[in-house]
Amino acid sequence: MRLLIGAWVLGAAFVVWYGRLPSPYLVHVRHLPPPYPYPTIGVLWVLLFMAIQVVVLAVVIRPRTYNRAWLRAGLALMVSAAFFVYAGLGAMHAPPYFFAYIWWSLAMVSGSLLLLVWSASGAFRHRARTQLVNQADR
């Protein structure tokens, strides 16, 4: 759970920081002169999406009872991938803070994939070890 909260805090810091950067779409396509106001509403929406994703992942993974549950890890990967696809669909002409969300979402997909590989390999090793012990008892 701490890892998910830490990931959200780190991602939130990047989103808030990237909110300060000028949007290339406003500069190069719309040719609007700076200064630009801080995109408070957009940043808050992105932070809300990130919080929703973290809560859904925490509900799916259930960190307190997690023990090589590769099925939960697979479901977490699907949830993370769905949020990443959603973020990718909104990427055209997106402001920099939204790209920070896309990179954070990609990191969540990568973390979920690593969790799936680690859980599946641990479950496989545990199953193989249990079968060897059962065969030795016979």
| Residue 128 confidence class, pLDDT cut points 50, 70, 90 | low
- Cβ neighbours for 93, distance < 8 A, ≥ 6 positions apart: 25, 29
In this structure, what token pair is assigned to residue 128?
């193989």
In this structure, what token pair is assigned to residue 65?
């009872």
Q: What global pTM score does this model have?
A: 0.86
Domain interval for residue 16 = 2-137
Q: Give me the residue label for tokens 């799936």.
A: 116
- Cβ neighbours for 81, distance < 8 A, ≥ 6 positions apart: 109, 112
Read off the pLDDT of residues 2-30 as tens digits, 9 standing for 90 and up: 889 999 999 999 999 999 988 888 888 88
Cα–Cα separations (whole angstroms), residue 54 to 23, 48, 76, 107:
27, 10, 10, 12
Query: Can you tell me the distance from the alpha carbon of 15 to that of 19, in angstroms, rounded to the nearest whole number?
Result: 6
What total of structural domains would you count in the chain? 1
Read off the pLDDT of residues 67-115 as tens digits, 9 standing for 90 and up: 778 899 999 999 999 999 999 998 888 999 999 999 999 999 999 999 9
| Residue 60 confidence class, pLDDT cut points 50, 70, 90 | very high
Query: Can you tell me the distance from the alpha carbon of 10 to that of 42, in angstroms, rounded to the nearest whole number?
Result: 18
Query: Can you tell me the distance from the alpha carbon of 105 to that of 93, in angstroms, rounded to the nearest whole number?
Result: 18
